[in-house]
């Protein structure tokens, strides 16, 4: 069996590594002519760390990212509302990592090139379309340097081609563009002194107006006694319309984001200083897409953001792409036809991840922070004076139950121990 994967993001590369570990041939095509460590920080939840550890990447991950200890919510003045342990601190067997998205992608790329061979990941090759028949798939591809068109054949085609997926468009031609909720995210990375316990993700403010999220993402900076801080400024302006095609690499402007945070005074975090200190600011609209009724058609399937783009809340975008990859490889390694394996993958994953997409639209943390901002706009001394214990409870229980992150301390169910020859 030969699998053609479209897209060398976190989803596509983990799929290649997972298929290789299961004894299945894989090739990746990537439209970018060069893969560079783009993006800023993301989180890997313990269930994703477990799967990358199964792939032998636990050490590399630990040498790159930082093991998260705490998620803490504050009002915009830095007064504590609620906090909870994360990763090992919450009782999981595997850490949650704060990591640079680009560094994680490079780590996966290096491993994939080493294990599958450098020629198995072809950059500068874009999928333009495909046809499938009873015996396989023919993919039409374009060389991005020359514009030359050619065809590739495979037994299975996996669309891991992100938010603007060509494969998704072919399977669901009537779907419109990404859906925006009126929130714009400005993102950046700035070196600074560590804050709080040095392993905290801090969420300050409210998504009704302005919200600031910050966490450290670099082992290397940490080893030097410094922190490479990933920060996100979220501004809600629901009356404006989405005019540009969402692009993770779009440059943002200091003068657009700074007015929203210039007067923030938090004694343990220099919010305006972090924004000013970033070499580069990126701007991205908070978009997702509605859940799909199917990901698989015959020998073609979707994976990662192509299947389920979600708001970048709750740390699940990259993590769910990794789980998709592992389940897909597991199903393909079982006996039976390619079509049956892809149908099982779809059945195993789609409802679960669709529920996360919907849950991310109603983050319980946001509701609580909005109530705090309404009741105590100028700050408070004790959160008990602002919220009742019942009002705080959803923060502790809501999101995790939906995303099934609290029942994963067993070994990975998706490791293929005896690769089958087909």
- In the complex with ligand FAD, the residue whose CB is nearer, 77 or 113, is 113
Phi, psi dihedrals of residue 65, rounded to the nearest 5°: -100, -175
- In the complex with ligand FAD, the residue whose CB is nearer, 141 or 383, is 141
The CA–CA distances, whole Å, from 347 to 6, 307, 409 equal 21, 13, 23
Q: Smallest distance from the beta carbon of 115 to ligand FAD, in angstroms? A: 18
* 31 contacts ligand FAD (rule: CB under 6 A): yes
Report the C-alpha gap between 177 and 288 in whole angstroms.
Answer: 9
- Residue for token pair 């313990």: 46
Structure tokens given for 342: 């892809």
The CA–CA distances, whole Å, from 83 to 202, 264, 383, 419 equal 9, 21, 12, 44
Q: Is the dihedral of CA 92, 93, 98, 99 positive or negative?
A: negative
* 188 contacts ligand FAD (rule: CB under 6 A): no
Q: Smallest distance from the beta carbon of 415 to ligand FAD, in angstroms? A: 21
- In the complex with ligand FAD, the residue whose CB is nearer, 24 or 189, is 189
* 305 contacts ligand FAD (rule: CB under 6 A): yes
Q: Smallest distance from the beta carbon of 412 to ligand FAD, in angstroms? A: 19
Look at residues 57, 135, 50 and name the one whose alpha carbon lies nearest to residue 95. Answer: 50
Please pick, from the candidates 1, 17, 20, 30, the single residue that binds ligand FAD as defined by CB under 6 A. 30
Please pick, from the candidates 1, 3, 5, 7, the single residue that binds ligand FAD as defined by CB under 6 A. 7
Q: How many CB atoms lie within 10 A of CB 91?
A: 10
Question: 268: which residues sit within 8 A by CB, 6+ positions away?
Answer: 78, 195, 196
Site residues for ligand FAD, window 193-232 (CB under 6 A)? none
* 72 contacts ligand FAD (rule: CB under 6 A): no
Stretch that binds ligand FAD, among 35-43, 111-119, 212-220, 272-280 (CB under 6 A): 35-43
- Per the document, the length of the chain is 422
* 317 contacts ligand FAD (rule: CB under 6 A): yes
DSSP letter string over 351-406?
Answer: HHHHHHHHHGGG-HHHHHHHHHHHH-TT--S-GGGT--HHHHHHHHHHHHHHHTTT
Please pick, from the candidates 318, 328, 329, 414, the single residue that binds ligand FAD as defined by CB under 6 A. 318
* 161 contacts ligand FAD (rule: CB under 6 A): yes
Stretch that binds ligand FAD, among 63-71, 143-151, 212-220, 304-312 (CB under 6 A): 304-312
Hey, is 285 helix, strand or coil? strand
Q: How would you class 374 by CB atoms within 10 Å of its CB: exposed for 0-12, middle for 13-18, buried for 19 or more?
A: exposed
- In the complex with ligand FAD, the residue whose CB is nearer, 299 or 383, is 299
* 10 contacts ligand FAD (rule: CB under 6 A): yes
Look at residues 418, 422, 405, 421 and name the one whose alpha carbon lies nearest to residue 71. Answer: 405
Fill in the per-residue mask, 266 to 285: x = in contact with ligand FAD (CB under 6 A), - = not in contact: --------------------
Stretch that binds ligand FAD, among 234-242, 294-302, 315-323, 381-389 (CB under 6 A): 315-323
- In the complex with ligand FAD, the residue whose CB is nearer, 65 or 312, is 312
Q: In terms of DSSP bridges, do strands 25-30 and 121-123 run parallel, antiparallel, or are they unpaired?
A: parallel
Q: Smallest distance from the beta carbon of 230 to ligand FAD, in angstroms? A: 8
Site residues for ligand FAD, window 102-141 (CB under 6 A)? 126-127
* 42 contacts ligand FAD (rule: CB under 6 A): yes
* 162 contacts ligand FAD (rule: CB under 6 A): yes
User: Inter-axis angle of helices 338-359 and 317-333, to 10 degrees?
Assistant: 160
Please pick, from the candidates 18, 67, 96, 166, the single residue that binds ligand FAD as defined by CB under 6 A. 166
Write out the residues near ligand FAD by the rule CB under 6 A: 6-12, 29-32, 38-40, 42, 101, 126-127, 160-163, 166, 187, 248-249, 304-305, 312, 317-318, 321
């Amino acid at each position: 069996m030969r699998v053609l994967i479209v897209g060398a993001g976190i989803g596509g590369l983990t799929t290649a590594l997972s298929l290789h570990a299961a004894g299945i041939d894989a090739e990746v095509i990537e439209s970018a002519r060069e893969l560079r460590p783009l993006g800023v920080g993301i989180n890997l939840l313990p269930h994703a760390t477990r799967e990358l550890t199964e792939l032998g990447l636990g050490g590399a991950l630990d040498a790159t990212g930082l093991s998260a200890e705490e998620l803490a919510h504050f009002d915009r003045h830095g007064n504590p509302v609620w906090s909870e342990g994360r990763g090992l601190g919450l009782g999981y067997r595997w850490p949650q990592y704060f990591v640079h998205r680009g560094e994680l992608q490079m780590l996966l790329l290096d491993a994939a090139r080493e294990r599958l061979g450098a020629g198995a990941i072809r950059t500068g090759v874009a999928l333009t379309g495909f046809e499938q028949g009873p015996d396989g798939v023919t993919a039409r591809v374009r060389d991005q340097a020359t514009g030359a068109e050619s065809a590739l054949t495979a037994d299975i085609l996996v669309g891991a081609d992100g938010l603007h997926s060509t494969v998704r468009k072919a399977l669901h031609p009537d779907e419109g563009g990404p859906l925006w909720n009126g929130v714009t995210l400005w993102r950046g990375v700035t070196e600074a002194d560590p804050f709080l316990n040095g392993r905290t993700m801090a969420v300050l403010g409210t998504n009704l107006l302005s919200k600031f999220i910050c966490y450290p993402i670099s082992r290397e900076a940490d080893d030097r006694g410094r922190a490479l801080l990933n920060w996100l400024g979220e501004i809600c302006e629901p009356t404006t319309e989405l005019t540009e095609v969402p692009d993770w690499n779009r440059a943002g402007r200091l003068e657009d984001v700074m007015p929203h945070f210039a007067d923030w005074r938090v004694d343990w975090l220099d919010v305006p200083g972090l924004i000013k200190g970033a070499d580069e600011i990126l701007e991205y609209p908070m978009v997702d897409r509605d859940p799909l009724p199917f990901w698989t058609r015959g020998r073609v399937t979707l994976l990662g953001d192509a299947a389920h783009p979600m708001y970048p809340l709750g740390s699940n975008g990259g993590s769910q792409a990794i789980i998709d990859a592992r389940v897909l490889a597991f199903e393909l390694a079982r006996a039976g036809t390619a079509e049956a394996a892809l149908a099982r993958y779809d059945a195993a994953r789609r409802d679960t991840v669709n529920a996360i997409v919907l849950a991310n639209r109603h983050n319980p943390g946001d509701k609580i922070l909005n109530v705090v901002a309404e009741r105590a706009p100028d700050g408070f001394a004790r959160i008990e004076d602002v919220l009742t214990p019942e009002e705080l409870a959803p923060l502790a229980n809501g999101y995790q139950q939906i995303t099934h992150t609290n029942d994963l301390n067993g070994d990975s169910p998706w490791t293929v121990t005896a690769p089958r020859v087909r």
